[in-house]
Amino acid sequence: MCGVVGIAGHGPVNQMLYDALTMLQHRGQDAAGIVTCQDNRLFLRKENGMVRDVFMNQHMLRLVGNQGIGHVRYPTAGTSSSAEAQPFYVNSPYGITLAHNGNLTNAEAIANSLFREDMRHINTDSDSEVLLNVLAHEMQKIGKQHPEPCDIFSAVTKVYQRIEGAYAVVAMITGYGILAFRDPNGIRPLIYGQRLAEDGGFEYMVASESVALTAAGFSIVRDVKPGEAIFINQNNELFTHQCIESNDFTPCIFEYVYFARPDSIMDNISVYKARMRMGETLAQKILSEWGENHAIDVVIPIPDTSRTAAMELAQQLGVKYREGFMKNRYIGRTFIMPGQQQRKKSVRQKLSAVPLEFKNKNVLLVDDSIVRGTTCNEIIQMARDAGAKNVFFASAAPPVKFPNVYGIDMPAKSELIASGHSVEEVRQIIGADRLIFQDLNDLIEAVSDTKYSSVKQFDCSVFDGKYIAGGIDENYLNALQKKRSDMAKLKKAGVQIIADTPVDMVGVEPEVL
């Protein structure tokens, strides 16, 4: 998962872009990048690492201009090389930079056609570079030195006709403005807002999550609609256009389970309230299957995402809620660390148990989901080492049985612990005394139970194997597993040395048609 942001301001946007990326840091900790524009020149900084490590004072001083885009990344398609940090840049036509969250399911076929038919070279394995070149090619075909918003929307319509999968995109066309668009199913989130500048005009921001906007003082206008594009020109005039008819509106339900910040609102659904309702429905299932005499003494969340659901679950059960694990804030999130061996190594560095909350108690540990199950066994053992009498385990999400193809780093089916294993077998593998999962219907009800959103369906492909976009079949999934397993990533990372350096681009002039 990645985070994107674009800002059209009335003054320098470098600090606002930096602050927005820190608010989106949870969406990707592998790399970060910002590009700005001033006097038709581009200023770019991108590198592997956290936002705070990539941008030093000297870099921020060079990021001049009133418009810009930013990106935080972890590797989904491609590798962890800094050469694949975003935004990407192409000089012709106009000079276009682009940042992307999601995954193009037909990226390989498009890359081949770009080379054979459009004569465009793709230098990395990133589908974002493919997407940028598709956009550049369609903009080139317009053949105008000074494109109007309608011309840009026409090019985006052509892009929609060529690409498949899930995507939320921000781009900057040098000298013209900021462009953003969202996939026809609305799988990946994108929202925009505005605020009044000191000179009386409006400034605009578009981002992956609402928290990036509200933290900067922008008021939310609305979510970008599926199949819609928005464009803010150099005069900060906003234009919107429905480029392609939207398909079934099906946002990714895993955003609400895990990825999004709890204080975000996505498609008019509060992530915090959705997670509270997940706790309620899970509590009802525990009472139904384990009975009133469930023997749970205390409910303890596994930090951080499961905290909201665990708190509500404890209240519904009428048992104590306690913070039994302390988190080291300076260790990267385990789920998005590239490489299984690193993931295993980090658990005890990242969490430590508070023995007082475990000793001689029947403990119910609550996590947002169980994906690979890599950390569960060790966390359960930590609870036992801290003195727990029995360790029960509850997942606020259903069993993850299928690979994700829309931008979440869990592609290999063989790495998913619930794939091919029953609940009892999973319980034995992770070493819990009891194990319970949320039902999918209950999860959908928990997320959609609001009067403020029109969303009634979700992409639940990791739970039910139903892929709503991209023409996914068994051959595609097998090829994806082979290409993107952890071992394949580690093997490739061992030889990825070309262009693995920071990227700073200052004052680059685009090619003029």
DSSP assignment string, 230-299: EEEETT--EEEEE-S---S---BTHIIIIIS-TT-EETTEEHHHHHHHHHHHHHHHHHHHH-S-----EE
Domain with CATH 3.40.50.2020 in the chain: 270-327+345-458
Structure tokens at 512: 């003029």
What is each CA distance from 71 to 96, 267, 327, in whole angstroms? 15, 21, 26
Per-residue pLDDT, 498:
40
Architecture of domain 270-327+345-458: 3-Layer(aba) Sandwich (3.40)
Q: Report the side by side order of strands in the sheet with 362-367.
A: 320-321, 298-301, 362-367, 390-395, 434-437
Architecture of domain 3-249: 4-Layer Sandwich (3.60)
- Which one-letter amino acid corresponds to residue 342? Q
Query: Peptide bond preceding 304: is omega within 30 degrees of 0, i.e. cis?
Result: yes
Annotated binding site for Mg(2+): 305, 367-368
Per-residue pLDDT, 497:
38
| Distance between start and end Cα atoms, the chain | 35
In eight-state DSSP terms, residue 202 is E
- Which one-letter amino acid corresponds to residue 432? A
Q: How many helices (H) and strands (E) does the chain have?
A: 17, 23
Q: What angle do CA 77, 83, 88 make, to 5 degrees?
A: 80
Q: β-strand 165-173 against 351-353: which pairing, if any?
A: unpaired
Annotated binding site: 305, 367-368
Query: Peptide bond preceding 87: is omega within 30 degrees of 0, i.e. cis?
Result: yes
pLDDT tens digit string along 201-222?
Answer: 999 999 999 999 999 999 999 9
- Burial, 367: exposed, middle or buried (Cβ in 10 Å; 0-12, 13-18, 19+)? buried
Annotated active-site positions, please? 2
Q: What angle do CA 439, 441, 447 make, to 5 degrees?
A: 105
Per-residue three-class SS string for 136-194? HHHHHHHCCCCCCHHHHHHHHHHHHHHCCEEEEEEEEECCCEEEEEECCCCCCCCEEEE
pLDDT, block means (10 residues), the chain with 513 residues: 96 98 96 97 96 97 98 71 90 96 95 91 92 97 95 98 97 98 98 94 97 98 98 97 93 96 97 98 98 97 96 98 90 52 65 96 97 90 97 98 89 86 97 98 94 92 94 88 64 47 64 53
Structure tokens at 31: 């790399």
pLDDT tens digit string along 494-512?
Answer: 544 344 556 676 666 655 5
The C-alpha atoms of residue 331 and residue 345 are separated, in whole angstroms, by 11
- Which one-letter amino acid corresponds to residue 355? P
pLDDT tens digit string along 220-236?
Answer: 999 999 999 999 999 99
What is each CA distance from 365 to 256, 282, 351, in whole angstroms? 20, 13, 14
Place of tokens 């091919």: 420
- Which one-letter amino acid corresponds to residue 296? I
- Burial, 12: exposed, middle or buried (Cβ in 10 Å; 0-12, 13-18, 19+)? middle
- 365's enclosing H/E stretch is strand 362-367
Sign of dihedral through CA atoms 252, 126, 31, 136?
Answer: negative
Q: Which of 139, 72, 67, 138 is nearest to 100 (CA)?
A: 72
The C-alpha atoms of residue 58 and residue 271 are separated, in whole angstroms, by 37
Q: Which of 82, 99, 83 is nearest to 21 (CA)?
A: 99
Q: What angle do CA 274, 276, 279 make, to 5 degrees?
A: 115
